[in-house]
Amino acid sequence: MKTERVLNAVGLILTGFGGIVLTPILVALIEKEYSSIVPFCVASGTGIGLGLLCRWKGGRDRNFDKISRPEGLLIVTLAWLLTAAVGAIPYLFYNLGPLDAYFESVSGITTTGATILTDFSLYPKDFFFWRSLTQWLGGMGIIVLFVAILPQFAVAGRSIFFAEAPGPVDEKITPRITHTAKSLWLIYVLLTILEILSLWLADMPLFDAVCNALSTMAAGGFSPHPQSIMGYQNSLATWIITFFMFLAGSNFALQYRLLIQQKPKPLLQSEEFRLYCGIVFALSAALCCFLLIAHRQSFLVSLRDSFFQVTSIITTAGFSSADFALWLVPAQAVLLIVMLVGGCAGSAGGGIKVVRILFMAKYIRRELNQVLHPRAVLSVKIDRRAVPNDIQYQILSFLLLYLVLLFFSGLFVAIIEDNYATGFVGAAATIGNIGPGFGDIGPMGTFGNLSALTKMIFIINMIVGRLELIPCLVMLNPDFWGK
């Protein structure tokens, strides 16, 4: 483990992030919110200063081409922890305590969307723009961004790119990892611009269209409206956001091949994408029936809310077109099912991921067939390719660790808050980077009333969940820190 090399890489990322923090100043100038300029200048100066300090401490060891896998994992983890800290600084100027500010920043940058805010009228527009921008940056990935724009990571990018990549399979569009990162950001930016224009044409105010689009493509869920998408009372905008949430939960590499390279076959032949579509449509239909029968809503409203909420939860966006905390148990049970699924690998969505659900179904079927045919040589195949044994072990380990972390963090929070629903639903919502749950932390609720210890547990859940457990947990092994 070369500490100097790690410090140099983290310093480079922090310096770049410090420059990005200045972006909300443009909104402050447009909206004439001049008092809001100082918070972002302080945050930017802190980020750049901390980055330069790391570079100075790192000395001359700036050969990132030799970054090892442990160093890559450490760089990714430190980058997310420290950028979240820098991103929290502006919140301190708006009467948020240090823990609440860090919670809101982590929730944004991990695209969780769990908020501690209670009164949205207290904050200016640049505040809400920054919340949405942090989600947009975290949706594709902080590391993916800097691999794409910094030539220093041209070769070493692979070691840290896949340490952050959301999914169990390495997904490359081009042989060079920098080109892959640029391609992913290209489709991400294009879809974001398209959604902004669509929402604006659907009569949503331009500022709200920008913020909601940034959060939608990140599968984040932060909205400048205190009642989320429900507050706009705009059915067309709700359907538009549903469509783009669906895209945000799909594999961006396959979307690039479809939209840029004009190759639809990889997307259409993807077993994961077909299962993703099947889950969304099947559970949306079931939820629609529940809303029609139990809640006596009209067909169009039931259809809209069912597709919106299923898509919102499975992609871990966390937006709400209705207060589903008030729905009956059967309807909430449907949302709880998709809460444990997540988006596709290579998407902005969090959670377990559809590809792992697909693998587990095929793995269980293989094991049952093996009992009936003990001498047969059977393999687990996805998209007609056998899943290597090392990937199988990674997926099984991930699922086991995910359930263990979910159980123990949920149990601890349930004891602290004296509420099992808050404990286990909150744990599922934060580990899966979903955001709202049920009850007090529902779509119209807040995480701000929870105890300090609960917030710290949920912060850990959000970061570990966004980095898909292994990069964080592997650092608990003493061998990780060996030379």
pLDDT tens-place string over residues 102-147: 999 999 999 998 999 988 888 999 999 999 999 999 888 766 766 6
Assess contact for 379 and 388: CB atoms under 8 A. no
- DSSP classification of residue 385: E
Angle between helix axes 235-248 and 299-314 (nearest 10 degrees) is 30
User: How far from each other are the two terminal CA atoms of the chain, in whole angstroms?
Assistant: 5
- Rounded Cα–Cα distance for residues 319 and 218 (Å): 12
- Rounded Cα–Cα distance for residues 398 and 222 (Å): 28
- Rounded Cα–Cα distance for residues 324 and 304 (Å): 13
- Rounded Cα–Cα distance for residues 429 and 420 (Å): 14
Amino acid at site 127 = F
Query: Given this model, what pLDDT does residue 469 score?
Result: 79
Query: Given this model, what pLDDT does residue 75 score?
Result: 84
Query: Given this model, what pLDDT does residue 163 score?
Result: 54
Query: Given this model, what pLDDT does residue 475 score?
Result: 76
Question: How far is Cα of residue 379 from the mean position of the Cα atoms in its chain?
Answer: 32
- Rounded Cα–Cα distance for residues 83 and 96 (Å): 18
Give Rg (Cα) of the chain. 22
Q: Choose among 117, 163, 111, 145: nearest CA to 473.
A: 163
DSSP secondary structure, 339-350, as one string: HTT---TTSS--
Q: Choose among 7, 5, 9, 70: nearest CA to 475.
A: 70
Query: Given this model, what pLDDT does residue 360 score?
Result: 93
Query: Given this model, what pLDDT does residue 175 score?
Result: 47
Q: Choose among 279, 335, 277, 348: nearest CA to 309.
A: 335
Query: Given this model, what pLDDT does residue 323 score?
Result: 86
pTM of the entire structure?
0.90
- Rounded Cα–Cα distance for residues 156 and 44 (Å): 26
Give Cβ neighbours of residue 61 (< 8 Å, ≥ 6 apart): 2, 4, 5, 8
What parts of the chain have a pLDDT lower than 50?
A: 154-155, 157, 175
Q: Which two tokens stand for residue 202?
A: 């659907």
Assess contact for 213 and 192: CB atoms under 8 A. yes
